[in-house]
Structure 1
């Protein structure tokens, strides 16, 4: 409903206007004021979309009210003047102050209805422009934040973000992922995307004005369904909360409003947005290390890595033997080394911090091994996905079985690095995208088809084409969508479906990000 304020010093005119049309049917809710000053006070404290005001009134005239609203209150309110023939000069003056229209007295119902419907149409167009502007700004901010998270940003990125937040205050990266134990049955990719959209909407609702810092599809891998946002210390301070209290409330809100099982990973706090990539990296490490922790709903990096206590021991001999077995791809030896490691941990009296330190040592050594073979690949991302996919195969968290499975998979990944499997495979994948871009293509399916580790295939793709598999596929789909918009009369949702998008809103967002305007505007230009 639009809020309308009727202003006139004659009570019978106010009453007559209220009875002249069916305001509720036209989508309006009425309030009244007897002079300009009363109306000014009402507008100062209440939302108003439309004012219909007489010109000649005591205390404050209609023209004075209009000027005050435009100059003092700076409110974008539709304003319609009630004017007699003798007051036409006043009406002309009102038009100079962005008056929407004027109605000659005596007012007739058809004339009033015409004005109300004009205002409704103007408001609808304004709302549409606002939504398009918000979507475009959101898409641009999302791209800017991705630059910052990857550490590959420029001065323009910093300048843009500085308009929205204090770039020097303490920040951290927070990731929200669908819990692998969430569904009892198998869900399709579309089901998971729908759940992710639900998470994203709920996160934005909680963050309110800070929702511009929330991002969908953080990971390059199509196997990972997650969203994330950049937390700033001022978010909690505004509510007089600590960072931990704020983020726990965030988790509770998300669970209550989505009915989904989720896990929140809180990266290490850093000073300023320039260092947010470091926080993002620590959140990625939490991903990989979840398999070796007791299950929680929220992990804080600083709590998981308290290694300042005395008595912490690294079982270096056992771990180095395991690393050698992984490098050679010897499954029997891997199992033996894992058993030796757990036996040694039990002998020393395992604690949470001791286990954390040992697993951390192992994972960083594995990253180092792979980096020696290919320094340009994001090894943290590879390790994260390998750890998650081995858990997804039915392995319970926290056991030696998970460590064995992850070690097998990482050994196979190292073997692929040594063989340089990128020769030929990327060409086949590119051809597959050209032919089947509208299908539900995923890295996981393509990796199984071409016998390549999906995480490694994703990184190879980024290395060759300078973007993720998802971005490359999106680019192809948007290119084809643009052709359809230029050459056909298909509706927007039909274009979205024909190029592989089942979520029309998501399609619009991606189109704006790529083309700089909405599909509707793009179509009109041609």
Structure 2
């Protein structure tokens, strides 16, 4: 919708003009009507219409003076003047003041007005595109300090601003920070809310995407307002944007904002905010943070000794393991040192991979990306605790090394075709003898143990992964879904389809 304001000192003429066109249907919104130039200026300050249609002859502030003052406030506003007179001098002054056109009242019709407005709308769109290009260019000049204070005063109206950095979070996946970016669709979804003014005090000025996932925005502050009120409105603007992001995109993000700054402070504020957003992994998801001074750098941590102690704790008690993980991550949280965090995560992932290999198991909870340091800590704690429990269970069984190796091999290779003969070749022993000692120590035949492992994994796939019966059969080592269903029924007491249905219910 294009906002329009109507002005005429004659109430009947104003009402006639208001009803002459179906404004809403044709894409226009009448923000208000004024019966004098003075009232029109007050209405303009509150509503900021893109187009003003005004009578040229009015007592006091006439149409020409109204045009002049409106253009001083916003040179992009389009003014169309109406008159009952063919007054050449007035028309010339109107052109000089920036009037878009000069229409005679007695020739007015809805068709004429709509035709004129369509031409105006095209001009506004072209001007808007040029303005956006200029804004991005000028924003770059501002944040990278390529313009002087004198040039700033010429280029921007006002000297009160604040910066806001909108950050799409980089998740941690398998121990490394993955790159993300703002897509065009995401930017379009929040564009309107970004450019919306707030209480006729906070106005959008410019924006630019500085990296793939960081979007910097500049807002100007107009009208007289206390510092407390301005700070409150800045925070409200941030929450307004956050609500739109959650509603439309359901994405993971953070925001950092400055308090009121002058044009000369824009570049330094930008540098501070850009450094601060790198530490968002230490914040809560969707946190909105005021700009603060960055913490002093401390001596880098050396993680080799900590990882060695953690490895030993995994083969110790549950309390030892929890204590060591807490020691590692509490140090990271307190220092909020991003480089230390980046050095730690690959070390933890390498240890986890090594232990999973030695204990013949898989990492858990890999589906969801991790966005906060708390989530990362919980992820590694769950995995290392799982490995510790798996190791402890085996240790309690008191099996021989040969049987433990057989169990590890079965749990790692159950999707493949397995037999005692194959295990005999693998361990360089007689397959029949392996079967005998396996049953003696575990109380189960090799085939029964293999079936239990496969059925246990099949239940997990059907229940947690929502896999189809055919997919599950293939993933756990059965060639046909029919044979798999028979084995499943024999061991679980119901068909795979019934098991899935029970889960949904």
Q: What TM-score comes out, normalization by structure 1 length?
A: 0.44
Larger relative contact order (CA 8 Å, sep ≥ 6):
1
Which structure: larger Rg?
A: 2
